[in-house]
Chain A
Amino acid sequence: MNHKRVVITGMGTVNPLGHNVEEMWSGMLNSKLAPSPIELFDASTYPTTFAAQVKDFDFTAQVGAESAEKHKHAGRHGRFALGAARQAWDQSGLESCDTLDRSRMGVYLGSGEGNLDFGNFFALLIDAWKDGKIDSNIWPKLAYDRMDLYLEVEQESNMVVSHIAAEFDACGPGYNVLTACAASTQAIGEAFMQIRHGDTDVLITGGAHSMIHPLGITGFNRLTALSVRNDDIATSSRPFDLTRDGFVIGEGASILIMESYEHAKNRGAKMLAEIIGYGSSADAYRITDQDPEGDGAASSMRAALADAGVKTEDISYISAHGTGTKQNDQVETRAVKAVFGERAYKVPMSSVKSMMGHLIAAAGATELITCILALRDQVLPPTVNQISADPDCDIDYVPNVPRKSEVKVCLSNSFGFGGQNNSLILKAAD
């Protein structure tokens, strides 16, 4: 089969550590800690009172007044995505490409659902509550009167794809996938497959999500998935550490411009990295738990390695899923050992979630950007908050401080709630 090579020519991010790529990277190299008390709503009595939030995001400054007006109905994560996409687009130089065929340029995101209109939504549940249920004569009347068309429609997870397509006049394929915490890694992987196969030339890919809202925190608290370290919020995200007690929820968006090597070369674009392998698998185990043996995670890594045609000894860095839940970090370590054998102890693997929090659907795309930066600067971001060693998590997590290192090929993992696993392999562009 005549496969095309696939490269990244632009990247952008809006996340709790920074509102652009360099700001985030500088935060990571300074071991900055993003978690803080939740300011988006009153969570002071919740089991978890903190999160890694995007603060002081200036949408208009990022996208310009005209675009801000055009996308005035975009929700919180849609705005993050538009900001990140604008950064990526500007870096790619596609705007000045005269030969760009917009019918061969599409959008492939792993974007989350939009936020409910909480004020009205909760008020309706209360005002229309009668005899222990929603009263069908009251609820619709109040809902017709109070609910807003755009606040409702923007909750469909394809709408962020629509906003990105509108902003850059993309007429090609429009895809959104929502495989929980693995979504944007999966989006990038499948986008890679489409360009490699020659289906399209350019894809704007990545992810966006914000679940820092009353029902998001509620839902994850009920699942006991979140850290409840309310007395030491800054260091609450402790992937692979013995004292870890759950993940810290974050929010944000990361967008990459992906195109075929020849498309990038023909227009003289600067190539930031080349994607060379992708693997996807399912645990098929339980909706509440990962396969304790890590077979699903291992199989997704193996599939990516085989797809890239590289061996475990070629991998110089692993960007971990590393959520900070008891189970994930143990299973992930086990899976890496299963795939890498003895070499598992020699390949550095870190979790930037220790600093940035877990961006859910947007996590994988953000972590892929950190891999591209590691390739560029030959430095690895650390896993901070390494306090007490966990005997089950005994490989090299790049503890606490960044490390100068020779970085040639990176593996980035994302494992979704429900058992969908995805792995990407990338190397520096030549």
Chain B
Amino acid sequence: MADPRVVITGLGMVTPLGIGIDETWEAVLQGKKTVRPFTIFEPGAFKCTIAGEIDDFSARKFVPKSYRKAVKVMARDIEIAVAAADLAFLDADIETKGTSENQSIAPDRLGCNIGAGLICTELDELGAAVNTAVTDGKFDYKKWGKEGIPNLTPLWLLKYLPNMLSCHVTIIHDARGPSNCITCGDASAALAAAESTSYIQRGCADVVVTGAAESKLNQMGLLRQELLGRLCNSKNDSAPEAVRPFDKDHDGMVIGEGGGLIIFENLERNKARNGKAYAELVGFGAASDPNGINVETATAGNLALAVKHAMKAAGITPNQVGMIAAYGTGVPGEDLAEVAEWRKALGDAADKIPAFATTGATGLMFAGGGGVQLGLASKALSEQIVPPTVNFSSPAEGCEMNFSSEPRKGDFEYAVVGAFTVGGQSGACVLKRYQG
């Protein structure tokens, strides 16, 4: 018996480019650039003062009235995921407890697998409590134990647990099937996609909400990327042009915040309800770079191995690949490492196949970036348009793949999506055009 087939039937995008797949896709095609001086906190003495920010955003609009109080215990990462999940179910036209009075999916057939990053505590909130436990200018552990602890809100810890993205989504939509939270940085969404497909293929769910969301747009996030030497500090005055994946003037990334949640559905179920589908998932692969612990050396996580495995599972050769969804952090060493991996996986075809990366438009969205990448690749496949690579003008030496800053019409059957993370994990998916 062959494995059941799995299709992508709903896209929920929450990115600096827009809220929802339609707004986001339109902005992508227009080549909209969203990186600008950030406002979510004072940039002050930070070296990098620009980012891809989501405007005027709160999850309140995206949760049922009865659940609005819970938004208070959601870190920004969680809010993004909750909103994106709502949008994804609406786009898929699947009715859940969260979107409708009548559910069209049985709770125990609905799975959830949402990738997340390291969620940062809000420094002002924790600082207010910590500063009640100071003696002679120093943190006083004894005083903290007695007087400091009660100054934190009782549910403080729950705001920052990465599985809370999944947990809130399962509660809102009454998803009682398998539920997981993958925390492998930017590769999380690709890995979650593989596992979500497995849920459906092994028969323990018919529909899965998957993808990832993250916001590192906070002091600790910015600090850590600065220490890693990945940030672009040279273009605070020309923010929209700062992130330039694979371009000769690439000079690092800036932080973007966002999430892409995606509905996976058993094809038979989708057919039975006459639903739409963006693409079919036909192959996955995952790999590691054993040198990933040397975080001062750029890595693309042995992506070639993941891509080869995914293509083998899909039963396709490099010549059948019509589009490459590259990751494109814009960090020079990482761009070079990534192109080398695509070439290793696809040979001569790597430089000919139309490719794109959207980080130039939004900044790097970490775990969320992988979800958005997978969602946009699905949309691109269904529209038969290769999205533009914003800020790409001519390739950096060693990055001569087929990128363009303009959208391109295509006629292609298969897209390969690849993502990787600091630490050395990577994941790849092969998507196939779905025409009913």
Q: Which one of A5-13, A159-167, A371-379, A387-395 is at the B interface?
A: A159-167
Q: Which one of A27-35, A144-152, A251-259 is at the B interface?
A: A144-152
Q: Does A221 contact B (CB under 8 A)?
A: yes
Q: Does B272 contact A (CB under 8 A)?
A: no
A174 touching B286 by the CB < 8 A rule? Answer: yes
Q: A104 CA to B173 CA in the complex, in Å?
A: 37
B423 touching A161 by the CB < 8 A rule? Answer: yes
A113 touching B118 by the CB < 8 A rule? Answer: yes
The verdict on A170 contacting B288 (CB below 8 Å), with A125-B127, A175-B182, A220-B157 known, is yes
Distance in Å from the Cβ of B60 to the closest Cβ of chain A? 17
Q: Which one of B18-26, B85-93, B163-171, B343-351 is at the A interface?
A: B163-171
Give the contacting residue for B167; candidates A193, A281, A420; CB below 8 A.
A420
Q: Does B100 contact A (CB under 8 A)?
A: no
Closest to A144 in B: B226
Q: Does B105 contact A (CB under 8 A)?
A: no
A179 touching B180 by the CB < 8 A rule? Answer: yes
Give the contacting residue for A416; candidates B163, B173, B204; CB below 8 A.
B163
Give the contacting residue for B184; candidates A136, A158, A172, A296; CB below 8 A.
A158
Q: Which one of A43-51, A263-271, A350-358 is at the B interface?
A: A43-51
Best-surrounded residue of A129, A170, A178 (most CB of chain B within 10 A): A178
Give the contacting residue for A179; candidates B141, B145, B179, B291; CB below 8 A.
B179
Closest to B145 in A: A45
Q: Does B46 contact A (CB under 8 A)?
A: yes
Q: Does A283 contact B (CB under 8 A)?
A: yes
Q: Does A314 contact B (CB under 8 A)?
A: no
Give the contacting residue for A162; candidates B179, B198, B424; CB below 8 A.
B424
Tally of B interface residues using CB under 8 Å: 99
Give the contacting residue for A222; candidates B42, B156, B219; CB below 8 A.
B156
Which residues of B, 140-188, contact A by the 8 Å Cβ criterion?
Answer: 141-146, 149, 152-158, 161-164, 166-168, 170-171, 173-185, 187
Closest to A127 in B: B137
Which residues of A, 305-361, contact B by the 8 Å Cβ criterion?
Answer: none
Residues in B whose Cβ lies below 8 Å from that of A284: 107, 170-171, 173-176
Q: A129 CA to B157 CA in the complex, in Å?
A: 22
A174 touching B424 by the CB < 8 A rule? Answer: yes
Residues in B whose Cβ lies below 8 Å from that of A26: none
Best-surrounded residue of A73, A190, A193 (most CB of chain B within 10 A): A190
B224 touching A176 by the CB < 8 A rule? Answer: no
Residues in A whose Cβ lies below 8 Å from that of B45: 136-141
Give the contacting residue for B191; candidates A166, A175, A416, A420; CB below 8 A.
A175
Residues in A whose Cβ lies below 8 Å from that of B70: 287
Q: Does A61 contact B (CB under 8 A)?
A: no
Q: Does A37 contact B (CB under 8 A)?
A: no
Q: Does B44 contact A (CB under 8 A)?
A: yes
Q: Does B397 contact A (CB under 8 A)?
A: no
Distance in Å from the Cβ of A13 to the closest Cβ of chain B? 22
Q: Does A143 contact B (CB under 8 A)?
A: yes
B293 touching A126 by the CB < 8 A rule? Answer: no
Q: A170 CA to B291 CA in the complex, in Å?
A: 10
One digit per residue, 1 when the CB lies within 8 angstroms of any chain A CB and 0 when it does not, for chain B 176-210 equals 11111111110100010001001000101000000
B293 touching A163 by the CB < 8 A rule? Answer: yes
A123 touching B138 by the CB < 8 A rule? Answer: yes
One digit per residue, 1 when the CB lies within 8 angstroms of any chain B CB and 0 when it does not, for chain A 174-186 equals 1111111000001
B44 touching A126 by the CB < 8 A rule? Answer: no
Closest to B147 in A: A45
Distance in Å from the Cβ of A188 to the closest Cβ of chain B? 13
22 contacts between A and B (CB under 8 A): A41-B141, A43-B145, A139-B45, A140-B45, A141-B45, A144-B227, A149-B295, A152-B227, A156-B118, A161-B423, A165-B292, A171-B288, A174-B287, A174-B424, A176-B425, A186-B180, A190-B180, A199-B284, A219-B156, A281-B177, A419-B167, A420-B163
- Counting from the closest, the 4 A-B pairs by CB-CB distance are A136-B44, A219-B157, A45-B145, A418-B167
Seed contacts A141-B45, A161-B423, A282-B177; 10 additional CB < 8 Å A-B pairs: A42-B145, A125-B130, A136-B45, A143-B223, A175-B286, A280-B179, A281-B179, A282-B112, A282-B176, A420-B167
